[in-house]
Chain A
Amino acid sequence: MSEILQYIHKDGLFHRMHPGTKIFLILVIGIVTILTLDILLLCLILLAVLLLALAGKVLREVLQQMALILAMSVIFILITLITMPEGEVLGYLIPGGFLPVTTGALYAGILLTLRFAILIISFQVFVITTQPRDLVNTLEKAGVPIDYNLMFLIALRFIPTLQIEARRIHEAQLARGYAPGTGFIGRIRSVAPVMVPLVSNALSRATVLGLTIDMRGYRTRARTPLREERMNLLDRAVIVILAVILVAFLAGTILPFFGYSLVQA
């Protein structure tokens, strides 16, 4: 069973990088990706993210997401074809003039796909190469309240536990003669007998989880961290370069919006 969003212990580029640097990196990637309308730039960013994943020795894990991203792409493009028929008509999905395929809709669908692909992959690379504890420490230092940190941590921690439990519940229901069928319809039908026990069991843990957090003093006592990672020269250099890229990008995209231009016409 593949584990979703779990830290993988390796010695790659990202594993050595300080968590703070990584957070800044995905923030910059995220901002640029969301603001830009340039498909070529998005393609370049996607390529860069994949190359970074390769350098970080996690490309295999990233590529496992491709099925999801492709499925998402099909859905996005279908939605934009139906809702945004703009630009030139290239053909029809249903022969006889129904559901026109237009350039505007295709452009919007591809734009959405690329944006989501980049955001999903960069977040995944970040999470699977960072020890959750370093992540929480860095966020804590950056001033994120401890409650939010714990929430994030617990969400990550319970993903594989819930995966295992979902499989056990599924088996238990199969043994009761349950045959939901396969494919999309089967999955929908299997929701109640699997999801109800899964969610009820998770909720029944909440009391003990809360008491445990309080009794260990996570929310009240100060922390004296052991083996704290410090940013090295490379981390600082990367942050400066990223900051320059971000400022340049913002200047190039936002200033023209207000009627300014960096280059005199």
Chain B
Amino acid sequence: MIGLEEVSYCYPQGGKEALLGVSLSVGPGECIFITGPSGAGKTTLCMAAAGILAHEYGGKKGGRVTINGKDAKEYPSLSDISGLVGMVFDDPEAQLIFTTVEEEILSALERRGLSPADIEERLASIMEITNLSALKDRAPHALSGGQKQRVVLATTLALGTDILILDEPTAELDEHGTESIVLVLKDLKAQGKTIILTEHKFSRFRDLADRLVVMEGGRIRASGPPDQIAGEESVRRIIVPDFSGIRDFSVPPPQKGSTPVISVKGLEHYYGEVPALRGVDLEISPGEFIAIVGENGSGKTTLIKHFIGLLRPTRGTVTVDGKNAATAQVSELAHTVGLVFQNPDHMFFANTVAEEIGFGIANLGILEPENVLEGVMEKTGLSHARDLYPRWLSRGERQRLAIACVLAMQPKVIVLDEPTTGLDGRESREIMEILKQLQRDGRAIIMVTHSRQIAEECTDRIITMEGGKIVSDISRRE
């Protein structure tokens, strides 16, 4: 169905080759799982296979891409290929154009020259496969990440192509959202669709993949049936994140009876009429490394926003370093608590990394700003990037910069919302190493995560939330 012969590619901006002599042949009904570290060339490979590089991009191109036996360049335009290949990109937000779920899917169905009766029938069947019937009148901004990604997938299915290319369709999703995508893909595979998929989470897609392709530095490092190659050391290193040695019991446990830096009593929070937190009690001591886990909507993010005054308790109290977090200014609490949000791109506005970090230092009037800046850049491994533009950094570097920005304000507590989202195994490990070092310095680290593995292999205490309550609070030291 799709063939790549010795494909090389270099983006017009220059730099290193994104693809280097990549050959890959995909047969009908096959499901190819492509993985590899960030920057390995996975997205570029998808765009080559979808004919996008041939038609929409400049740059240096080598080799040949065939789609259904015909050279991608010989199709008159990308629209002509769109009847054969459907592509799903990693950012669902940018692929939703209409204002309701049904309109979105219809918009694609209506461009295929089908009869109205046919359109109705396919609409119903696509809604069913992707489990969207109940959401048909929802607007895109009222959908969760997993739901958005399912709508994008449904709309791509509505194009009726036999080949589907999905570039990290679950990168931004939690366990539940990922599972819902896996289920849809299983159905599609059973229908005989040819699927090319790039992902980090190999274990979740293991049943689906007929062939595992491992990329690194623009080349294919290994390719074959998953059962054969997944065990090889060079492949394992890339597909299984390794957090060994991160947990460190040499750090003395917080002394019993020491004053907690955060203390939460009977906390309830309502969004209007809707309860989000229903009686949370929690004490956090200096030097603790805590994971908060739980499904979307269990109240994790709502809880941590109370630590810095972005949300105020409906009932109950939150005390942060002796201050009442119900009344204290956010800028005052920021001296004690540093909050790193999920998407680092929501905070960068300066022209250089140093300026970006300097923003918080100046806001809080931290002493010896130059020393603090240097120290923070060293701790987060960003000294080389001092004068670079924050948005041009890699995803892993941007996440480290987000931590650096917060760290520069010298908080006693660092709170992170999903700090490993969209990162590969090596980048995730780097983040954990930084956090571990900060714990050794005596800071309390609180991390919201949907990765059970990270919670269990890196932290000392796991708090599980469900329906706005803490349902378990387990110390790993005992």
Instruction: Verify that A and B bind, or say they do not.
Output: yes
B137 touches A9 (CB 8 A): yes
Q: A136 → chain B, closest Cβ, in Å?
A: 9
A165, B115: Cα distance in complex, Å: 40
Q: B300 → chain A, closest Cβ, in Å?
A: 15
Q: A184 → chain B, closest Cβ, in Å?
A: 20
- Residues 1-27 of A at the B interface (beta carbon under 8 Å): 6-7, 9
Residue on A with the closest CB to B335?
A177
Q: Which of A35-43, A58-66, A80-88, A222-230 is the interface stretch?
A: A222-230
A197 touches B98 (CB 8 A): no
Q: Does A103 contact B (CB under 8 A)?
A: no
Q: Of B83, B86, B141, which is in contact with the most chain A CB atoms at under 10 Å from its CB?
A: B141
Q: Does A51 contact B (CB under 8 A)?
A: no
Q: Does A217 contact B (CB under 8 A)?
A: yes
Chain A residues with Cβ below 8 Å from B391 are: 200, 204
B119 touches A175 (CB 8 A): no
Chain A residues with Cβ below 8 Å from B106 are: 133, 226
Contact of A175 among B52, B94, B95, B338 (CB under 8 A): B338
A160, B345: Cα distance in complex, Å: 19
Q: Does B298 contact A (CB under 8 A)?
A: no
A216 touches B139 (CB 8 A): no
Q: Does B255 contact A (CB under 8 A)?
A: no
Contact of B82 among A160, A217, A222 (CB under 8 A): A217
Q: Which of A92-100, A151-159, A241-249, A255-263 is the interface stretch?
A: A151-159
Q: Which of A105-113, A116-124, A206-214 is the interface stretch?
A: A206-214
Chain B residues with Cβ below 8 Å from A6 are: 99, 139
A131, B98: Cα distance in complex, Å: 10
Q: A139 → chain B, closest Cβ, in Å?
A: 14
Q: A178 → chain B, closest Cβ, in Å?
A: 5
A161 touches B93 (CB 8 A): yes
Chain A residues with Cβ below 8 Å from B330 are: 174-175, 177, 179
A219, B113: Cα distance in complex, Å: 14
A215, B158: Cα distance in complex, Å: 12
Contact of B78 among A133, A192, A215 (CB under 8 A): A215
B91 touches A193 (CB 8 A): no
Contact of A208 among B82, B91, B339 (CB under 8 A): B91
A218 touches B107 (CB 8 A): yes
Given A160-B141, A161-B93, A172-B341; A153-B111 close (CB under 8 Å): no
Q: Is the interface of A mostly helix, strand, loop or mixed?
A: helix
B341 touches A224 (CB 8 A): no
Q: Does B116 contact A (CB under 8 A)?
A: yes
A169, B349: Cα distance in complex, Å: 10
Chain A residues with Cβ below 8 Å from B364 are: 177
A164, B113: Cα distance in complex, Å: 37
B406 touches A212 (CB 8 A): no
Residue on B with the closest CB to A174?
B330
Residue on A with the closest CB to B329?
A179
Contact of B331 among A174, A225, A226 (CB under 8 A): A174
A142, B101: Cα distance in complex, Å: 25
Contact of A215 among B82, B107, B113, B339 (CB under 8 A): B82
Given A175-B406, A225-B110; A216-B159 close (CB under 8 Å): yes
Chain A residues with Cβ below 8 Å from B343 are: 168
Q: Does B422 contact A (CB under 8 A)?
A: no
Chain A residues with Cβ below 8 Å from B94 are: 205-206, 208-209, 212
A216 touches B82 (CB 8 A): yes
Q: Does B348 contact A (CB under 8 A)?
A: yes
Q: Does B409 contact A (CB under 8 A)?
A: yes
Q: Does B393 contact A (CB under 8 A)?
A: no
Chain A residues with Cβ below 8 Å from B359 are: 176, 178, 193
Contact of B110 among A156, A179, A219, A224 (CB under 8 A): A224
Q: Does A264 contact B (CB under 8 A)?
A: no
A211, B347: Cα distance in complex, Å: 27
B113 touches A175 (CB 8 A): no
Q: Does A150 contact B (CB under 8 A)?
A: yes
Chain A residues with Cβ below 8 Å from B86 are: 215
B345 touches A177 (CB 8 A): no
A211 touches B111 (CB 8 A): no
Chain A residues with Cβ below 8 Å from B141 are: 160-161, 164
A208, B56: Cα distance in complex, Å: 11
A176, B100: Cα distance in complex, Å: 36
Q: Does B196 contact A (CB under 8 A)?
A: no
Residue on A with the closest CB to B408?
A176
Q: Does B79 contact A (CB under 8 A)?
A: yes
A179, B309: Cα distance in complex, Å: 13
Q: Does A147 contact B (CB under 8 A)?
A: no
Contact of A172 among B50, B139, B347 (CB under 8 A): B347
Chain B residues with Cβ below 8 Å from A223 are: 110-111
Contact of A197 among B56, B123, B308, B346 (CB under 8 A): B346
Given A175-B338, A176-B334, A211-B52; A133-B103 close (CB under 8 Å): yes
Chain B residues with Cβ below 8 Å from A187 are: none
Contact of A214 among B82, B103, B331 (CB under 8 A): B82
Q: Does A220 contact B (CB under 8 A)?
A: yes
A224 touches B114 (CB 8 A): yes
Q: A222 → chain B, closest Cβ, in Å?
A: 7
Q: Of B93, B115, B349, which is in contact with the most chain A CB atoms at under 10 Å from its CB?
A: B349
Q: Does A251 contact B (CB under 8 A)?
A: no
Chain A residues with Cβ below 8 Å from B110 are: 223-226
- Residues 73-114 of B at the A interface (beta carbon under 8 Å): 77-79, 81-83, 86-87, 89, 91, 93-100, 103, 106-114
A193, B349: Cα distance in complex, Å: 6
- Residues 306-344 of B at the A interface (beta carbon under 8 Å): 308, 310, 329-331, 334-335, 338-339, 341, 343
A209 touches B95 (CB 8 A): yes
Given A9-B137, A133-B103; A208-B95 close (CB under 8 Å): yes
A38, B87: Cα distance in complex, Å: 57
A175 touches B341 (CB 8 A): yes
A197 touches B347 (CB 8 A): yes
Chain B residues with Cβ below 8 Å from A160 are: 139, 141
Closest 7 CB pairs of A and B: A177-B363, A196-B349, A205-B94, A208-B94, A221-B111, A175-B339, A177-B334
Q: A206-B94, A225-B110 are in contact. List 19 more A-B contacts (CB 8 A).
A: A6-B139, A7-B139, A150-B97, A153-B98, A156-B99, A168-B346, A175-B341, A176-B347, A176-B405, A177-B409, A178-B359, A196-B349, A208-B95, A211-B87, A215-B81, A217-B83, A217-B159, A222-B113, A224-B115
Q: List 30 A-B contacts (CB under 8 A).
A: A132-B103, A133-B106, A150-B97, A157-B99, A157-B140, A161-B140, A171-B341, A172-B341, A172-B347, A174-B330, A175-B338, A175-B339, A176-B347, A176-B409, A177-B331, A177-B334, A177-B364, A178-B363, A193-B349, A204-B391, A205-B91, A205-B94, A211-B78, A211-B87, A214-B79, A214-B82, A217-B83, A221-B113, A224-B110, A224-B119
